[in-house]
């Protein structure tokens, strides 16, 4: 497995996985906008040309927010998401020095994602009631300090 910053030609692969995984999938065009923007970091995990998973961070001066992370079903539970989060933490620490903390929100019942976040160093800091729709669900907020 190889982890790298994604290029334009990978965006269709991300959009395809988005459509399989999320009820509000992002389009190829909006993913391309993120890839071209200095305010976003988009990393993918690849096996040869095959996209196994990806992660998207938005950079907001001293804070960054994890907006999306997904791994294709056949590649889950093999540490792909853990590797993506580890590489992102190192990248923000080394290349985006003003970032001091990472935030994210996740559906309360998304056990796999919550375990992933807790395992990789995120700490629960709050909740937003009925934040999500389709289906309606609370959001749990997590934070990680970057040293």
Ligand X SMILES: CC(C)(COP(=O)(O)OP(=O)(O)OC[C@H]1O[C@@H](n2cnc3c(N)ncnc32)[C@H](O)[C@@H]1OP(=O)(O)O)[C@@H](O)C(=O)NCCC(=O)NCCS
Q: Which residues contact ligand X (rule: CB under 6 A)? A: 21, 53, 68-71, 76-82, 106, 110-113, 115-116, 119
3-state secondary structure of 106: strand
In this structure, the number of other CB atoms found within 10 A of the CB of residue 33 comes to 13
CB closer to ligand X, 4 vs 78: 78
Question: Euclidean distance between the first and final Cα of the chain, in Å?
Answer: 27
Residue 28 known to be catalytic: no
- In terms of Cβ atoms closer than 10 Å to its own Cβ (0-12, 13-18, 19+), residue 45 is buried
CA 30 to chain centre: 15
Query: Least separation, in Å, of the C-beta of 18 and ligand X?
Result: 9
- 98 vs 124, beta carbon nearer ligand X: 124
Nearer to ligand X, 20 or 98 (CB): 20
The answer to whether 66 and 55 are in contact (CB under 8 A) is yes
Query: Among 105, 124, 131, 137, which one carries the catalytic annotation?
Result: 105
Q: Which of 54, 117, 132, 142 is catalytic?
A: 117
Q: Is 105 a known active-site residue?
A: yes
3-state secondary structure of 54: strand
User: Least distance to ligand X from the beta carbon of 132, Å?
Assistant: 10
Rounded least distance, CB 146 to ligand X, Å: 20
| Residues acting as catalytic residues | 105, 117
């Amino acid at each position: 497995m190889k982890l790298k910053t994604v290029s334009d030609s990978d965006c269709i692969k991300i959009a395809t996985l988005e459509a399989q995984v999320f009820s509000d999938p992002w389009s190829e065009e909006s993913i391309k906008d993120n890839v071209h923007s200095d305010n976003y970091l988009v990393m993918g995990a690849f096996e040869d040309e095959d996209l196994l998973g990806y992660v998207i961070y938005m950079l907001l001066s001293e804070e960054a927010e994890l907006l999306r992370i997904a791994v294709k079903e056949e590649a889950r539970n093999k540490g792909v998401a853990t590797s993506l989060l580890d590489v992102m933490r190192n990248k923000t620490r080394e290349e985006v020095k003003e970032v001091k903390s990472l935030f994210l929100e996740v559906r309360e019942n998304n056990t796999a994602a919550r375990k992933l976040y807790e395992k990789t160093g995120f700490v629960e800091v709050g909740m937003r009631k009925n934040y999500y729709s389709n289906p309606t669900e609370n959001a749990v907020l997590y934070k990680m300090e970057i040293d």
